[in-house]
Structure 1
């Protein structure tokens, strides 16, 4: 657990991010104790449903950006989504996450409302609902909260305004202040609020990452999902010279970010990003060892999983839900973690904050 002095925090966090392998391994024993003492030894599953890859945004790093004309677009029906929710419940996952490309049209908003209402009607309080649906009006966010969604993940991508516009077009649809404002709206409404950043993307420095960690602390965030940058060939930030060494560096940096954040904010929820597994087959398990306590097994209908490609080499696109569950159980036993089946696994920090 770190002090509240901002300069001391920044210096210490930077030392964590650039530490050598031997020192980092020593740090892991410290972070394990902090993790167990503050969020326990359970890892909580969130059944991930990728509802649609239609998106109005044109973010320079994302494979489902509007400008990617080679993407095969799809949108699940309400029936498809409810079937996926049924699968998550049958697998005894305590929560689901509904994720999609960003849209604010009334048809999309009403569809999400219908799904939340029906899911709550079927399962009452036996299944938590997290949304990751981009920037929405406060009215829409309030509506979804009133219907029963209680967690929302909106990644800030970077806390550096100038860097944000190197990764996004500078126009009304990609407004840094609006993204921040949406995070504040979520907090005011009463959601458990999550955010996150890209790690190792072009133009980014270690100091930027340190400031991202401090942003989490200053904003008093409840949960974080962050992962390594993996360049997509159909995006402006594609790096055709990207090597396995580049990816390994971003992977290691991502683990250090998780460890640093766990020490900085001991009681928040931290997700083990699926993108880690795209680089290292044991990526999510290593993230759990580094301080993460949330994993999002994919319950999207198999026919659509390959089309939700934010980055290349997305793992688990061919697995059935029961295969994914069994695989993760075995993997997590290797890092001596139990699974909080049937539990929401809410962020302890949220209850401290309110």
Structure 2
């Protein structure tokens, strides 16, 4: 019988040609070994033995991560990631049995899109996430900081003066060094509006500014275009990059600008009819269903509360907003 370790090895080498076959293998594995998902499929009267297309796979509503134990196999979680939430909200909990695999796939995805982490200095502005000790984003960025092997890499919280001075020194002393400034949206806006002289960035071409979404109740919600206009002017960059990730996913999508996200080999998006959650045939706009093959030990088939549209084919998409009745989440809050 196929094992979790074998499936993870396949995820690391998956490509567009064998994605669907691997997704079906993981579906059958999880249908048999994930108690919560198996019950869900049984209640839907799904005959797992005859299902032959990823379009026919039922996606687990993301709310289940708030109320149920989502684990595939008789395993113990080593890390529990928890989503952010306002007071009184139930938060999602992702039980991760193999955090090393999470870091491996996250690093592989980032380097596929952006190149070696060792070429970067990673400057992180994630104050709201650092207030918790169970953020998947902080866990990933902390690993990126270590892999960058730069003494300047780190979490800078609200010390914008030091952050600005570090960026200026790198731009002067090592202008070929790439800088990744990654932050929650309100943190980047606060930095941009801190009154610092960032004129030196006009002559520095190796800065990537990446927002992870979310005002966290700290600032008024803005349209993505408004945020990106403010940030491009402040940091003298042509585009603002973005990350599409969430507590319930181990893979990430990335946008190089304009809110268009590219997917890694381990992810695929299907769009569902907003009135029929089981209809994903020929939908170009609708609710976002995510196949994340990296979620071998939890569930790889997740019905999110995000609304989206395809940009080009099915490996590029936009996030348009969220369903009206869904909780505010830490990622992708801004409406296009």
TM-score, structure 2 normalization: 0.33
Larger RCO (CA under 8 A, 6+ residues apart) = 1
Which has the larger helix fraction?
1
- Higher gyration radius (CA): 2
Higher strand share: 2
